[in-house]
Amino acid sequence: MTDLLTVDEALEAVLQAVRPLPGTWEPLAQALRCVLAEDVLADIDLPPFDKALVDGYAVRSQDLTGEERWLRLGERISAGQTPTRGLAVGEAAVVMTGAPVPPGSDAVVMHERTRSGDGGVWVEEAGVRAGQNILARGREMRAGEVVLSRGTILKPAHLGVLASVGRTSVRVVRPRVAIVPTGDELVEPERKPGPGQIRNSNAIMLQTMAIEETAAADVLPIAPDEPDPLRQVLARGLESDVLIITGGVSAGQRDLVPAALELLGVRRIFHKVRLKPGKPLWFGTGPPRVAIGQPGPLVFGLPGNPVSGLVGFLLFIKPALAALSGRPRAQGVAEARLMRVFRHRGDRPTYHPARLLTGGDPHAAAPIETLEWAGSADLRTVAAADGFAVFPAGDRDYDPGEIVGFLPTR
Amino acid sequence: MTDLLTVDEALEAVLQAVRPLPGTWEPLAQALRCVLAEDVLADIDLPPFDKALVDGYAVRSQDLTGEERWLRLGERISAGQTPTRGLAVGEAAVVMTGAPVPPGSDAVVMHERTRSGDGGVWVEEAGVRAGQNILARGREMRAGEVVLSRGTILKPAHLGVLASVGRTSVRVVRPRVAIVPTGDELVEPERKPGPGQIRNSNAIMLQTMAIEETAAADVLPIAPDEPDPLRQVLARGLESDVLIITGGVSAGQRDLVPAALELLGVRRIFHKVRLKPGKPLWFGTGPPRVAIGQPGPLVFGLPGNPVSGLVGFLLFIKPALAALSGRPRAQGVAEARLMRVFRHRGDRPTYHPARLLTGGDPHAAAPIETLEWAGSADLRTVAAADGFAVFPAGDRDYDPGEIVGFLPTR
């Protein structure tokens, strides 16, 4: 057992194999939460003109220094229009929010602080300042300036900024993930399993986990336990940045997947990690993708049991996707306070489904309780959990109140 | 000013107008993070057979109570195969992880705890227990049992459970949102703005904000400031569950949008809220959608300035989408500690972009600093912020260390 890699050693080996990905062009809506792969420059000044920020009157502030603040009405400028002439001395132009103010004006007085009268407008506000209620041309950004830097994680407001500088697509890092379910026992979810068969529940789970990490994730057809068809499906998967295979890596499974990967030029980095569930995890790197000028894909072989796959994804594939994207690594295991007795037996660190309890002290480790669980094939219990309590190797009885690790499923 | 609704009053009015939506059928991948709108039953026992959890030997535990634990080899059963016969006394069947164990067997001994010899297998493990390394039929779920309840927010593991009970689609609540940008000054992002024009940056921002709340959000074409074409676009938007209009609701904007909505049978609930930026916010409910048997849509008119729209979305539309989905309301404004002097002037509660500072005490209110900001048209600064510091109405100078509200943009 001691010759197996620990979780930390295995993760280190995965991260060492990562080569950060270049960007790909994506439409803005697809770029949400992705990492920006370019510095984005403003193509114009923004605002492109001196702009009224409120509805009211564009004025010359020096006309309003006295007690008698009456101005005659000039032109009316709505948003989308342009002034036809400059503002004369003693004149006010009616401006709508978003409209350009006329040359010569240097302030806007809000509509609410004026009244009409004597064929013009009385300004009730005293002390009108130059610049008031005007957003000067270029105040938000100047043409040529970098408005968003490479590495920014794109929120909706960033996408708005991109649109404002003329972008409908943008270079971002978006790892391509292919998922290959393997195993003669698997049938697609829409089919009723025959004797000895089981529905493929891993693919949709791993696909949506990858999507949550901003990957573009595709599920390939179920590969049978036969060398040639298996190799054909895996070869397709090796065109992606990350290939995730489920099943076919456990000790007794005739080594079909490792053998097929070897024939395809995938270099094994490790097979088996000291953890439970999920020990048979296989990891390697595929051959360089010469056609697209890219290094080889990361290749993960996950055990077929759904919970083993889920734990393997959280511990290794999620950090790998972050590293491929140049995204800061999220905290993996946090601390939590066990609120129930737990009897741990085993020589591997063990991940046991647990749920967060409410009502804990918000300033201390979160209280959790372990759930009754039938083992790594029991996904139902894991779906009802908030994550996994982590128990180190070695037989031990844990008491309520003890601090243990907690790996959230999110 | 005092006749305007406060933010809390306006939110209350919005939530009172919400009628929770019925579910719609969605493919599993589209249902991620949505609220389940049905109780989902298991269609089969899971596992559908007594299943080996490890690679090894299926045995009869009563054959292994003595000192001499040798068994003769029976058949070999891989995952996806079925046993052809029951296990005889004194016999062991080779089983792979995931395979059905033969009738008569009641435990599986791991491969690592055996050795071959004398034409059979020696079991090195003592004290083999009945049930060991077997997941009994129906242990995860029983046919007919509710495995996921209405109201569950679907995580990837839940989607795996749905696949395991034969689902490729599921009933979830997924609000349909239509976004209508209005204003003669707007041009699509791919165009270079002419004099007085500005690019439409709101649509992509609001669309992706809605998508983050699990809505299906579409952007309709920019509507001009002319009654007939405007009304046509708005009529299309009223087919959705939520219609978001940007622009055309400020005081000076000829009331085109409110007038068009009135003609379309939209009932105004309020216009203007006591906040800054975003005061001119308009809210109402559309006529019942008889063709689809649905109540009228929620209709939000947001000011055209991007930051006003963003604040309006966070304060009103986001909680409305949660209520439409039957999702618990997320915390809106939290507490934060101001780390810089802030001079507030104004008779409305004010939302000012701020960023979270690192290195604060994790057990206390998060430290924030307000950013230099050019006002509600300046989206660039807001994109660089983490949210908004909230200052109550009334002139006041705030000192470093004071606790204020904080509305995260997330």
CA of B142: which chain A residue's CA is closest?
A: A380
Integer distance in angstroms from the first to the last C-alpha of chain A?
Answer: 31
Which of A135, A159, A179, A209 best tests the B interface by mutation, with the highest count of B CBs <10 A? A159
Residues of B in contact with A82 (CB under 8 A): 195-196
CB contact under 8 A, A205 and B305: no
Residues of B in contact with A100 (CB under 8 A): 195-196
The top-level CATH class assigned to B334-408 is mainly beta
CB contact under 8 A, A253 and B201: no
Which of B53, B111, B154, B155 best tests the A interface by mutation, with the highest count of A CBs <10 A? B155
Which of A3, A32, A140 best tests the B interface by mutation, with the highest count of B CBs <10 A? A140
Q: What is the pLDDT of residue B54?
A: 86
Phi-psi bin for A83: left (phi > 0), alpha (psi -120 to 50), beta?
A: beta
Q: What is the pLDDT of residue A158?
A: 98
Non-local (6+) Cβ contacts of B256 within 8 A are: B182, B225, B226, B227, B230, B248
Mean predicted confidence (pLDDT) in A11-37: 97
The residue extents of the domains of chain A are 7-21+175-325, 38-44+141-171, 51-135, 334-408
Q: What is the pLDDT of residue A410?
A: 81
Instruction: Please tell me which of the candidates A100, A141, A379 has its beta carbon nearest to residue B380.
Output: A141
Nearest to B366 by CA among B333, B342, B321: B333
Question: What tokens were used for B348?
Answer: 């409305």
CB contact under 8 A, A379 and B161: yes
Q: What is the pLDDT of residue B360?
A: 72
Q: How many CB pairs under 8 A join A and B?
A: 305
Whether the predicted pLDDT of A1 surpasses 60: no
CA of B193: which chain A residue's CA is closest?
A: A48
Q: How many CA atoms lie within 13 A of A33 on its CB side?
A: 13
Instruction: Please tell me which of the candidates B43, B111, B381 has its beta carbon nearest to residue A252.
Output: B111
Q: What is the pLDDT of residue B150?
A: 97
Question: What tokens were used for B232?
Answer: 């046509």
Nearest to B214 by CA among B157, B176, B158, B168: B176
Instruction: Please tell me which of the candidates B56, B189, B374 has its beta carbon nearest to residue A139.
Output: B374
Cis preceding-peptide flag for A277 (omega within 30 of 0): yes
DSSP B138-179: TSSB-TT-EEE-TT-B--HHHHHHHHHTT-SEEEEE--EEEE
CB contact under 8 A, A55 and B251: yes
Q: What is the pLDDT of residue A144?
A: 98
CB contact under 8 A, B378 and A212: no
DSSP A75-89: EEE-TT---SSPPPT
- For the packed helices A202-212 and B156-164, what is the interaxial angle rounded to 10 degrees? 160
Of the CATH numbers 3.40.50.720, 2.170.190.11, 3.40.390.30, 3.90.850.10, which one belongs to the domain with range A51-135? 2.170.190.11
CB contact under 8 A, A189 and B167: yes
CB contact under 8 A, A96 and B410: no
Residues of B in contact with A198 (CB under 8 A): 47-48, 98, 164
CA of A149: which chain B residue's CA is closest?
A: B384
Residues of A in contact with B80 (CB under 8 A): 183-186, 196-197, 225
Q: What is the pLDDT of residue B248?
A: 85
**Residue ranges of chain B with pLDDT lower than 50?**
1
CA of A47: which chain B residue's CA is closest?
A: B198
Whether the predicted pLDDT of A302 surpasses 60: yes
Question: What tokens were used for B190?
Answer: 């791919």
CB contact under 8 A, A156 and B48: no
Q: Which amino acid type is present at position A239?
A: E
Distance from CA of B166 to the nearest CA of A (A): 5
Within chain A, how many helices (H) and strands (E) appear?
8, 28
> Please, which pLDDT band fits residue A360 given cuts at 50, 70 and 90?
confident
Residues of A in contact with B189 (CB under 8 A): 162-164, 166-168
Distance from CA of B1 to the nearest CA of A (A): 11
Non-local (6+) Cβ contacts of A2 within 8 A are: none
CB contact under 8 A, A79 and B192: no
CB contact under 8 A, B380 and A190: no
Residues of B in contact with A310 (CB under 8 A): 156-157, 160
CB contact under 8 A, B380 and A200: no
Percent of chain A with pLDDT over 70: 98
Q: What is the pLDDT of residue A108?
A: 97
Which of A161, A209, A213 best tests the B interface by mutation, with the highest count of B CBs <10 A? A161
Q: What is the pLDDT of residue A254?
A: 67
Mean predicted confidence (pLDDT) in A53-81: 93
> Please, which pLDDT band fits residue A330 given cuts at 50, 70 and 90?
confident
Cis preceding-peptide flag for B100 (omega within 30 of 0): no
Of the CATH numbers 3.40.50.300, 3.20.190.10, 3.40.980.10, 1.10.1370.40, which one belongs to the domain with range A7-21+175-325? 3.40.980.10
Q: Which secondary structure element, helix H or strand E, spans residue A367, and what is its range? A: strand A366-370
CA distance A334 to A312: 17
Phi-psi bin for A55: left (phi > 0), alpha (psi -120 to 50), beta?
A: beta
Cα distances (angstroms) measured from residue A32 to each of A313, B130, B318: 22, 52, 17
Nearest to B137 by CA among A198, A352, A248, A247: A198
Mean predicted confidence (pLDDT) in A106-132: 93
Residues of B in contact with A195 (CB under 8 A): 49, 82, 100
CB contact under 8 A, A184 and B79: yes
Mean predicted confidence (pLDDT) in A391-410: 95
Count of residues making up chain A? 410
Mean predicted confidence (pLDDT) in A340-350: 95
Whether the predicted pLDDT of A163 surpasses 90: yes
Q: What is the pLDDT of residue A251?
A: 66
Instruction: Please tell me which of the candidates B80, B156, B197 has its beta carbon nearest to residue A209.
Output: B156
Instruction: Please tell me which of the candidates A48, A156, A161 has its beta carbon nearest to residue B208.
Output: A156
> Please, which pLDDT band fits residue A250 given cuts at 50, 70 and 90?
confident
